[in-house]
Amino acid sequence: MLLLPIVKMTKTVMKSLLGGSACKMYPLRPPTFFGGTRGPVEIDPSKCVLCGLCAKKCPAGAIAVDREGKTWEIDRLKCIVCSLCADICPKKCLVLRNDYTPPVTGETKDVFRIEPVSKEGHQDQGKSKG
Amino acid sequence: MGKRTVIPFGPQHPVLPEPIHLDLAIEDERVVEAIPSLGFVHRGLELLVEKMDFQEMVFVAERICGICSFMHGLGCSLGIEEIMGIEVPERARYLRTIWSELSRIHSHLLWLGLAADAAGFESLFTHSWRVREKILDIAEETTGGRVIFGACKVGGTRRDIDGETLVRVLGRMKDIEADYRSIAAVFRDDYSMRHRFSGVGVMSREEARELGAVGPTARGSGIARDTRELGYAAYGGLDFEPVIEDAGDCYARCMVRVREVHQSFDLIRQAAAKIPGGPVEVKVKGFPEGEYFSRLEQPRGEVIYYIRGNGTKFLDRFRVRTPTFANIGPMVKMLAGCELADVPVIVLSIDPCISCAER
Amino acid sequence: MIEKQETISITIGELLEKVCRLAGEGYRLVQIGCTRLDSFQVDYTFDKDYRFLNLRVLVPADKAVIPSITGVYWCAFTYENEIHDLFGIEVKNLNIDYAGNFYRIAVEAPFNVSRPGDEEKE
pLDDT at C2: 66
Secondary structure of chain B in HEC code, one letter for each residue: CCCEEEEEECCCCCCCCCCCEEEEEEECCEEEEEEEECCCCCCCHHHHHHCCCCCCHHHHHHCCCCCCHHHHHHHHHHHHHHHHCCCCCHHHHHHHHHHHHHHHHHHHHHHHHHHHHHCCCHHHHHHHHHHHHHHHHHHHHHHCCCCCCCCEECCEECCCCCHHHHHHHHHHHHHHHHHHHHHHHHHHHCHHHHHHHCCCCCCCHHHHHHHCCCCHHHHCCCCCCCHHHHCCCCHHHCCCCCCCCCCCCHHHHHHHHHHHHHHHHHHHHHHHHHCCCCCCECCCCCCCEEEEEEEEEECCEEEEEEEEEECCCCEEEEEEECHHHHHHHHHHHHHCCCEHHHHHHHHHHCCCCHHHHHC
In a mutational test of the C interface, the residue from B33, B319, B324, B359 whose CB has the highest number of chain C CBs within 10 Å is B319
Residue A37 to residue B130, Cβ atoms within 8 A: no
The topology under which CATH files domain A37-130 is: Alpha-Beta Plaits (3.30.70)
For residue B47, pLDDT beyond 70: yes
In a mutational test of the A interface, the residue from B56, B99, B128, B134 whose CB has the highest number of chain A CBs within 10 Å is B56
B140 contacts on A by Cβ (under 8 Å) = 33-34, 36-37
For chain C, how big is the Rg over CA atoms in Å? 15
Angstrom distance (rounded) from CA B12 to CA B5: 20
Q: What is the mean pLDDT of residues A65-75?
A: 83
A87 contacts on B by Cβ (under 8 Å) = 158
pLDDT tens-place string over residues C24-70: 888 888 888 888 888 888 888 888 888 888 888 888 877 778 888 88
Residue A34 to residue B137, Cβ atoms within 8 A: yes
Note whether residue C70 is domain-resident.
Answer: yes
Residue B150 to residue A38, Cβ atoms within 8 A: yes
Note whether residue C120 is domain-resident.
Answer: no
Considering only CB atoms, C35 lies closest to which of B40, B316, B325, namely B316
Note whether residue C115 is domain-resident.
Answer: no
For residue A115, pLDDT beyond 80: no
Note whether residue C122 is domain-resident.
Answer: no
B166 contacts on A by Cβ (under 8 Å) = none
Q: How confident is the model at residue C1 (pLDDT cuts 50, 70, 90)?
A: low
pLDDT, greater one: B234 or B252:
B252
pLDDT tens-place string over residues B208-251: 888 888 888 888 888 888 888 888 888 888 888 888 888 888 89
- B4-358 is classed in which CATH architecture? Orthogonal Bundle (1.10)
User: Do residues B205 and B223 touch, judged by C-beta distance below 8 A?
Assistant: yes
Whole domain around residue C22: which residue ranges? 5-105
Q: Which residues pair with A50 in a beta bridge?
A: none
B159 contacts on A by Cβ (under 8 Å) = 36
Q: How confident is the model at residue C5 (pLDDT cuts 50, 70, 90)?
A: confident
Considering only CB atoms, B130 lies closest to which of A22, A36, A96, namely A22
C68 Cα to chain B: minimum distance (Å): 16
pLDDT at B105: 92
Domain residue limits, chain A = 37-130
Q: What is the mean pLDDT of residues A68-94?
A: 84
pLDDT tens-place string over residues B100-121: 999 999 999 999 999 998 888 8
Note whether residue C118 is domain-resident.
Answer: no
ipTM of the complex: 0.85
Angstrom distance (rounded) from CA B15 to CA B143: 30
pLDDT, greater one: A124 or A3:
A3
Q: Which residues contact B130 (CB under 8 A, 6 or more apart)?
A: A22
pLDDT at B318: 87
Q: What percent of chain A has pLDDT over 90?
A: 0
Structural domain count, chain C = 1
CATH value at residue C64: 3.30.460.80
For residue A129, pLDDT beyond 80: no
For residue A128, pLDDT beyond 50: no
pLDDT, greater one: C87 or A128:
C87
Q: Which residues contact A60 (CB under 8 A, 6 or more apart)?
A: A78, A79, A80, A82
In a mutational test of the C interface, the residue from B22, B35, B38, B78 whose CB has the highest number of chain C CBs within 10 Å is B38
For residue C121, pLDDT beyond 50: no
Q: What is the mean pLDDT of residues A54-63?
A: 85
B185 Cα to chain C: minimum distance (Å): 33
Angstrom distance (rounded) from CA B246 to CA B220: 6
pLDDT tens-place string over residues C77-103: 888 888 888 888 888 888 877 877 777
pTM: 0.88
Q: What is the mean pLDDT of residues B181-199?
A: 87
Considering only CB atoms, B144 lies closest to which of A22, A36, A80, namely A36
SS3 of residue A52 by DSSP: coil
User: Which chains have 3+ CB pairs within 8 A of C?
Assistant: B
Residue C75 to residue B326, Cβ atoms within 8 A: yes
Considering only CB atoms, C74 lies closest to which of B295, B321, B329, namely B329
